[in-house]
Every structure is written in structure tokens, then in C-alpha cells.
Amino acid sequence: MTRRVLHATESGDFPATADVIIIGGGPAGMGALWALTRAQPELHIVVLERGRQLGSGASNASLENFRTAWNARCNAVLMQRSVDIFLHANEYFGEGTDLGVRQRGYLFCAMTEAQAAKLRQDVAHLRSVGLDHAEYLDEAEVQARFGWLGERVIAAKFDPVAGWLDSYALVNAMGKSAPNVTFVYEMNGIAITTTSGQVTGVQTPAGRIAAPVVLIAAGADARPVGRTAGVELPIVMRPRQSVTTHWRHAEYPADGPMVIGPPPFPHVRPEARSGAIFGWEYAWNAKKLAAEGEHAARELIDPVYPVDFWKDPRFPSMLLMLIARQFGHERGGFASPQYLRGLDHRAGYYVYRDDSCAYEVTSEGRHKPYESQRAIIDRHPDVAGLFLSIAHVGHGIMSAPGAGEIIAARILGKPLPHETSADFGFDIHFVENDSSGLASDEAVVERL
């Protein structure tokens, strides 16, 4: 068995055949590679990645977090499996593996009685489905444990198992675990080939690779890649932004949790020794693509590159102003002007199911779309040998190994890891308690 690394821009012994081709070298693709080779080490797998290294897509703008407190049972089971793997990295990826795991927790904050009631309800539901570690903190408890956030926080939902890790270390640990793989970087212009509704391989500028199985794990590029196989994948995307600072106010301790404010959910966690990383899924400036007088769509069908096109220069100051106002920090804390010095501002894409595969059916028989938090981890129903690990909604890092086990079972024709794994199916349009996570609020932008 051999492990090779090639670049499409260089001449070399390009592979002509494979057992499985994975399109995409991010968390979803590497999770699949890890799980497939763990199940069948003799498989020859070719990974085609458009970037110069693994994890070079949307992961670059990620906050690298993980959490277990999910209202939809399928997501809770999936994330718990992944977290167990993170916490036992040496067992799953080899001795000496360091994923940089920090279990600091997730703290969802409430500033009003209505928000507190919602968090109390959330915790009751989480405990009812077996997540006994989820905590509801009343005002006295939240002030005793996290008083540095300020007096406005009157309650909180806390996931103590949650935290963050080094996504680059994770992606590479999964990639290095495969004994018989060929990585091809800087690979663009990929076309999936089919005959009579059956995958036969891929055509690339560097040559053709014959294979009976192709997995699309290409993030924002999944829909264009799918078209080469004659299918239109049911996904949409939204640009998202994050900001890393090299400074963090002294009251926010290095072992502090991921903090999420109330709607519209600005969030922040400690980063490195003295920094912080912020996120907020505010309504992005779609007017850049809309013609004069045309309505600006909320979602994109196809990605726009370079993704920095979506970086809004107002974003860092708006985010910090919002979070400072929510927590009542007027001079220090999140209101400190030092947060705006030496910023690293990044952009990426969140990919969702579209409204053709995420909807409720009303009593009148009408389809009511909703923002699903479920990935599509399944075979394509119309093309034999075509598999999908897509629409991870920004959760691709935290779900990577668990999602890899699901798609590996699909590809290898083995039983699914858990009964809830079927909820990630292509044709499963609704799952109870599956709904939007950190929602946007376009009106907030206008008020800042």
C-alpha cells in the first residue's frame, strides 16, 4: 500500500483507477476517507482537492467549535459520536495525535425573562432526549460563574462538553490515517463521468480516473460538481464572516467558554493566548449581485470567488458594537477599542439544504420551508455510485468523523451507525426539532 501526494500542475504518475474518488479535501471528505479506510484498509482512494492543501475551503473562516446540545436527535447523536472521537484521538488516529481540544463549554446567554424562559425550555428538551449534561443557570448561578460578562445576563444554557479544537490538525490526522490514498491538489475542472446512470469515474485536465464510486464532499462547490454528473443538488449557500483579534480584555479568561448572545446571536470565544475569535451570521450584502431594482436574494445557488468578495468592511465594528451593547459594556470589556486593532477578517460559505428537501407539511397540505441544520449524507437516488456528504451548515468540522462513518456505511453497503443516521438522507424533508441555529436579523444592521 502507498500514500502519495501529487499536484495537478506538476507532471507525475497520475492515477488511472481507484476504488473510490473523493472530491473535496475538507472535513467532510477527510472524515469519509478516515472512516472508509478504517473499515477497509485495502481500498485505493483518490482525493481531488482544488486548493493547495487539505482544509483550504470554508474551514479557513471557521471558529473550529464543537457542541453536543442539539435539539434534533440525529444531530445530537452525530455530534456526540464525533466529540467522543476527538477526546480519544490517539485511539482513533494514532499515538501522538494532538487535536488541540479545549473543552471550555458553550454559554448561551439571556438578557430578558422571555429569553430565559426559552433557554429553560431548551434545557428541559435536551434532558428529555438524554443530554443530561445540559445545564440551565439562573441569575445567581450565571453571575457566580461568569460574572465578568456583566449584570445584564440573567440566565444561561450551558453545554459543558462543548469546546473547540485545531481544525487543521483534525483534517490532517484523518488524512494521514489512510494507508492507500493518492491526494491530488490544485485540481480544478473536474467532471464526473457516467454511463447509463452509473458512475464510471472522473475526467480531469490531468487525465481520466476510472472508479465505480465518487463522493462529492466539495462544500460550496458541490452543486457545480454535481451538474457534471447531470444532477442538480438541492443546496443553497450563504456567505459568512468571522474576525480574529490578537487582544482580549483581561476579564475574559483564557479558559472562558464560547459565549453566545441573544438574538441575533453574536458569538465569541478565547483564541490562542491573548486573542479572541468572533462570529455573527448577519444578513450579508447580497445587493452586490442584484441588478438595479432587482430583489436581493438571501441565498446563492453558486459560489462567487474569490470568497473575499463578501467581506464587508463594516462587519468587525458592527459585530463588536452589537455584542458590547447586548452585554452592557460601555467603555471596557467588548466595548474596548483595542478589539479593532490588528484584525484578521475572513469569509467563507455556509451550505444548507434548499427548500425542496427541508420543509414541513401543514394541515392544509402546503409545504412550509425551514432552515435545516441537517447535512445530506447519502447516496444520490438517481445516479448509481454517486454519494454525497454536503450541506453541513458550518458544522462540518465538529461532525467530520461521525459523518464520515455514516457515508462510509452507505458506500460499503453496511448498516448505518445509528438509527438516527437515516435522518441525513437525501429524501428526508423533515425531522422533528430540526431548525435554524444562529439566525440572522437584517434589521439589526440598520439599527447599528
d(C-alpha 370, C-alpha 355), whole Å: 7
Does 296 have pLDDT greater than 80? no
Least-confidence region, from 45-54, 381-390, 409-418: 45-54
* Digit-coded pLDDT (tens) for 38-84: 999 999 999 999 988 887 765 566 788 999 999 999 999 999 999 99
User: Helix 73-87 and helix 396-412: axis angle, to 10°?
Assistant: 100
| pLDDT of res. 448 | 42
Phi (first) and psi of residue 58, to 5 degrees: -65, -20
| pLDDT of res. 57 | 67
* Digit-coded pLDDT (tens) for 251-265: 999 999 999 999 999
- Cβ-contact 3, 181 below 8 angstroms: yes
Phi (first) and psi of residue 173, to 5 degrees: -65, -40
Mean pLDDT of 16-23: 97
| pLDDT of res. 437 | 57
Enumerate residues 6+ apart whose C-beta is below 8 A from 227. none
| pLDDT of res. 52 | 85
Mean pLDDT of the chain: 91
The half-sphere exposure of 408 on its side-chain side, counting CA atoms within 13 A, is 23
d(C-alpha 405, C-alpha 377), whole Å: 10
**What is the three-class DSSP state of 49?**
coil
Domains of the chain in start order, with CATH, are 3-95+167-236+354-424 (3.50.50.60), 107-163+242-293+304-341 (3.30.9.10)
| pLDDT of res. 62 | 75
Which helix (H) or strand (E) segment is 240 a member of? Answer: strand 235-245
> Could you tell me what percent of the chain has a pLDDT over 70?
92
289 — pLDDT class (breaks 50, 70, 90): low
414: which 3 cell numbers? 453496511
Q: Please state the pTM of the whole predicted model.
A: 0.93
- Cβ-contact 32, 24 below 8 angstroms: no
